[in-house]
Amino acid sequence: MRISTTLAALTIGLTLATTGNAQPMDLNVVSRIRQEAFYNSQVMQTFTHLTEEIGPRLTNSPNMQKANDYAKSKFNEWGLSNVKDVPFEDFGRGWDFRSAHVEMIAPRAFPLHALPKAWTPGTNGPIEGEAMAVTLKSAEDFKKYQGKLKGKILFLSELRAYKPGTEPDQRRYDDAGLAALQSFAVPKTMTSDRAKRIKDFRDREKFTRELNKFLVDEGVLATVSISGWDNGIIRVGGAGSRRAGESVGVPDLAMIAEHYNQVMRMLDHKDVVRIRADIEARFTSDSNDPGYNTLAELPGTSKADEIVMLGAHMDSWHTGTGANDNAAGTAVMMEAMRILKSIGVKPKRTIRVALWGGEEQGLIGSADYVSKTFASYPLSTKPEDADLPKSLRPRTGAMQRKPAYDKFSVYFNMDNGSGKFRGIYAQENLAAMPIFQEWLKPFNDLGATTVVSRNTGSTDHISFDRVGLPGFQFVQDGLDYFTNVHHSHLDTVDHASEEDLKHNAAMVAAFVYAAAMRDERMPRKAVIEE
């Protein structure tokens, strides 16, 4: 008899729910959590301070330091313990962005909406130059432009046709969407692509260095690329280099598609397009400085040496205010700690919150913390591998567990915007599924009902999961996270939901308290080592 994958997954989930070691929630505590979260909430005060008082928080920027200091001050104010910043590796230079003014001055006057990429230089005052469309995708392309680029502002992307949207910008899960998450696809057997990833990384880094040098040597004034999204959205990340001693090239901008395409059409018509730009951006240090994670604890009682963790990354990109990515997660995790402290619970295990830095550059803060605190792989120390990030450096032995490894229970993360929690991804940890089903029951009336066996990635819980420690991310309503705000200049408070943030803070507080009170630590799945 053939059973559909969805029905099979649901059957497995129901079976596990009736047979697993799923201790029920303490409903008296959950009621107190809900009351504090819904009627005495401070989540929006924290959220708006991080975004509208401090602003965007690029790792190692002055604003990120302000955010670290602010979080520590609130943790101390709330009476938490072991409040501190913990450094992670030599991240690189700090960078700060103040303003950008870009305009077409010929063949007609017209403002152009563009913003700089992180870790690229400013213009040191207004510059003017002729726009020129070029193709620079490999070092071989340099030859045809040598001696022709001095004083030019280069447009590096091709014109892109507008793509009308067919879906609403803001989305919430319906029953069918939640049911679809229950299906699990058996992964295909794949050979390791580490060698290819290492080659691709080195090729990219080599070309970036060559391009930066070429642009400076040729006297280019600035470069411009098209934003990855339409509808007037500037989606932008980093360029140049955050590493001290490396060339940062020339000012590098991302421009909205609708303005970029206008310039490209004019150039195609052989118009002479002149552009004026004034970009105020600066490096704030000349050395490869460490970044910082901010930590605090609610001490445990009978199992105080065992740890339950919750966290979110506090760093952001620089053009919006980093509201949904990820002041939302930071504010929720801070609020969960405030709630637990406020209602006076005495957890068996110590509850530790971590606000990570360097997530946007590859989970750097959380990965460094996990490797130093819980477990790590010995990595190649060969000189030829020194240029590789730790995530790509060849491993030279089996995973090495530190004493804290066996004292760790679970980590919960938030990093998919401000949307409401509708459930949780179990990361293929089937033994955790009935536990989560039980913990969701007090939140079923709020729409949180779904435990999904499948994995989700690209957030800080992966730093724990990859060394076999239970790390989980919640299923969230998408809102307009992936249509308007993700890594864009529209990532502001207006795109967040206050009610959803309150809901999420209550759920996190309940989940971490339940984990801290369990008789046993959370079950673990097998470690799959490459």
Residues 70/71/75/78 CA torsion (nearest 10 deg): 60
Nearest to 207 by CA among 308, 300, 137: 137
Report whether pLDDT(423) > 70. yes
pLDDT in tens, 168-213: 888 999 999 999 999 998 888 766 688 899 999 999 999 999 999 9
Q: What percent of the chain is modeled with pLDDT above 90?
A: 88
Give yes or no for a cis peptide into 299 (omega within 30° of 0): no
- pLDDT in the model for residue 97: 92
Candidates 153, 179, 139; CA nearest to 450 is: 179
Instruction: Say whether pLDDT at 527 is over 90.
Output: no
Model confidence over 15-44: pLDDT tens digits? 444 444 678 899 999 999 999 999 999 999
Residue 370 φ then ψ, to 5°:
-60, -40
Selected residue with higher pLDDT from 168 and 223: 223
CB 115 within 8 A of CB 253: yes
DSSP conformation class of 346: -
- Cα–Cα distance, 381 to 383 (Å, whole number): 6
List the one residue out of 76, 124, 117 whose CA is nearest residue 95: 117
pLDDT at site 167 = 79
**Distance between CA atoms of 260 and 169, rounded to whole angstroms?**
23
Residue 328: which residues within 8 A CB-CB, separation 6 or more? 47, 312, 414, 417, 418, 496, 501
Candidate from 117-131, 194-208, 243-257, 479-493 with smallest mean pLDDT: 194-208
Confidence band, pLDDT 50/70/90 cuts, at residue 529: low
Closest CA to 221 of 243, 253, 267: 253
Question: Token pair of 247, please?
Answer: 């060339």
Does the pLDDT at position 317 exceed 60? yes
**Residue 525: DSSP 8-state:** P
**pLDDT, position 273:** 98
Burial of 109 (0-12, 13-18, 19+ CB in 10 A): exposed
Task: List, for residues 460-515, the tens digit of each pLDDT value.
Answer: 999 999 999 999 999 999 999 999 999 999 999 999 999 999 999 999 999 999 99
DSSP 272: -
Tens of pLDDT, residue by residue over 56-111, are 999 999 999 999 999 999 999 999 999 999 999 889 999 999 999 999 999 999 99
| CA distance between the termini of the chain | 36
Is it the case that residue 13 has pLDDT exceeding 50? Answer: no
Q: What is the pLDDT of residue 90?
A: 86
- Predicted local distance difference test score (pLDDT) of residue 190: 64
Q: Looking at 412-493, list the stretches that DSSP marks H as alpha helix, in order from N- to C-terminal side.
A: 433-440, 461-465
